[in-house]
Amino acid sequence: MAEVDQFLSKKVADRYLKREVLGEGTYGVVYKAIDTKTGQTVAIKKIRLGKQKEGVNFTALREIKLLKELKDPNIIELTEAFPHKGNLHLVFEFMETDLEAVIRDRNIVLSPADIKSYIHMTLKGLAFCHRKWVLHRDMKPNNLLIGPNGQLKLADFGLARLFGSPDRRFTHQVFARWYRAPELLFGAKQYGSGVDVWAAACIFAELLLRRPFLQGNSDIDQLGKIFAAFGTPKPSQWPDLVHLPDYVEYQYVPAQPMRTLFPMASDDTLDLLSKMFTYDPKARISAQQALEHRYFSSIPLATEPALLPRPPPKRESVNSKVPDFNPGDGPTVLSPPRKQRRVMPHREGFDLNAQQMDEHGNENRQTAAGEKSGQAPMSLDFSVFGMRPPTRPTMNSADKSHLKRKLDLEFQLPEED
């Protein structure tokens, strides 16, 4: 039986021709690859199974099957999953760039309508998964990938639950802390979709400020940064707080007016942000409710995804075909994994002046292009810009549904006895 499994997984593995390493993340290395069946470029995430070397257990397989069924325009599609040489390989649709690259690109000006569009797509992806009872738990701008038609898609959905929470001891995980909800920082063991909404609020704030909003350098410091912005939570605001496992009393600091934190934002923006940044997870707005907030129906309306400004694709064309591939080629490392090029943050204190934050905040974070990001432009909150970068060719929808149908036939999981 094991031999049959090995044969099958080798057969699936042979379908993909590995090309260069795209980077290394929390769970392992990501390769660019060519799907020889379709000629399409894909991204393959090779997950180290660690202790579970003998294979992926049935629960994990079931979960993977569920993840494969999570199909939404704002979720990265997991098209295939197979074990090979002691690693689990997850095959995803290939994406050109990510929201972190958009935020860091100093040539890009984000209008309020552009920000609305990016946040709208983020919340739509979140609301879809929350409806299916799947949490992300590790939302951050580099997990929000952007396709050739400007569509934003959430990546890594469900992986935190499947493979355990990302290990914060790794330096490259330090950035994830900035998006952590206060209940997680206080050690909550039971938490819900509110953790993703808090992270989405941090991303929203980051789009407005063009720099990470709350950059704590430890969990305690992270809470300090949150309280410096929104005030120490009062028992009336968050009655369950004192019962959380790692609860410690913090010295009282008053909340800053939202207007001080985001001087350029509209009233609707501030109202939605404050609802997403609500301390008590039970009172925090849900992703679906956020989508129904008047911010999304008021002028300016969200920019069409295809018209959104975005950086040049990080890699070559999405639709590159097999012929340019030499089967003798091994994977070529074109550049060091992005995470290795990042540095630890050193910021001290919380600067309440947005302009000051902009000046200091970018010193410690490097761009996907490996350059130190200096002062990034603040997003503008008063106009929609006429000038847009040219749109990129998209995969035609007939090709896409054909590809989907083909892939759906693959990877039938064995039923548990």
Ligand X SMILES: Nc1ncnc2c1ncn2[C@@H]1O[C@H](COP(=O)(O)OP(=O)(O)OP(=O)(O)O)[C@@H](O)[C@H]1O
* Cβ-count burial 220-250 (b if 16+ within 10 Å, e if not): ebbbbbbbbbbebbeeeebeebeebeeeeee
CB 18 within 8 A of CB 29: no
Out of 138, 156, 221, 358, the active site residue is: 138
Q: What residues have CB less than 8 Å from 66, skipping those under 6 apart?
A: 132, 134, 158
> How far is residue 305's CA from residue 147's CA, in Å, rounded to a whole number?
10
Q: Minimum distance from CB of 138 to ligand X (Å)? A: 6
Nearer to ligand X, 111 or 142 (CB): 142
Q: Is 275 annotated as a binding residue?
A: no
The answer to whether 63 contacts ligand X (rule: CB under 6 A) is no
Q: Minimum distance from CB of 239 to ligand X (Å)? A: 33
Check if 219 is active-site. Answer: no
- Spell out, one character per residue from 22 to 51, where the chain touches ligand X: x when CB under 6 A holds, - when not: xxxxx---x------------x-x------
Nearer to ligand X, 196 or 358 (CB): 196
- List the one residue from 35, 156, 196, 206 that touches ligand X (CB under 6 A): 156
Q: Minimum distance from CB of 144 to ligand X (Å)? A: 9
Cα angle 266-199-192, degrees, rounded to a multiple of 5 = 120
CB 45 within 8 A of CB 28: yes
The answer to whether 95 contacts ligand X (rule: CB under 6 A) is yes
> How far is residue 301's CA from residue 10's CA, in Å, rounded to a whole number?
49
Q: Minimum distance from CB of 177 to ligand X (Å)? A: 11
Nearer to ligand X, 275 or 338 (CB): 338
> How far is residue 273's CA from residue 261's CA, in Å, rounded to a whole number?
11
Q: How many residues make contact with ligand X (CB under 6 A)?
A: 21
187, β-bridge pairs: none
Closest CA to 212 of 413, 366, 52: 366
Q: How many CB atoms lie within 10 A of CB 402?
A: 12
- List the one residue from 110, 145, 184, 214 that touches ligand X (CB under 6 A): 145
Instruction: Report which DSSP code applies to 416.
Output: P
Q: Is 224 annotated as a binding residue?
A: no
> Which residue in the shown chain puts its C-beta closest to ligand X?
25
**In what order do the strands lie in the sheet containing 97-98?**
97-98, 144-146, 152-154
- List the one residue from 79, 143, 303, 367 that touches ligand X (CB under 6 A): 143
Q: Is 16 annotated as a binding residue?
A: no
> How far is residue 172's CA from residue 164's CA, in Å, rounded to a whole number?
16
Stretch that binds ligand X, among 64-72, 90-98, 206-214, 324-332 (CB under 6 A): 90-98
Give the orientation angle of helix 194-209 with respect to helix 112-131, to 10 degrees: 170
- List the one residue from 87, 142, 193, 373 that touches ligand X (CB under 6 A): 142
Longest Cα pair distance anywhere in the chain, in angstroms?
A: 66
Nearer to ligand X, 18 or 338 (CB): 338
**Contacts to ligand X from residues 162-191, by CB under 6 A:** 172
The answer to whether 141 contacts ligand X (rule: CB under 6 A) is no
**Contacts to ligand X from residues 306-335, by CB under 6 A:** none
Nearer to ligand X, 94 or 230 (CB): 94
Catalytic residues: 138
Which residue positions form the known binding site for ATP? Answer: 22-30, 45-46
Which positions touch ligand X (CB under 6 A)? 22-26, 30, 43, 45, 76, 92, 94-95, 98, 142-143, 145, 155-156, 172, 338-339
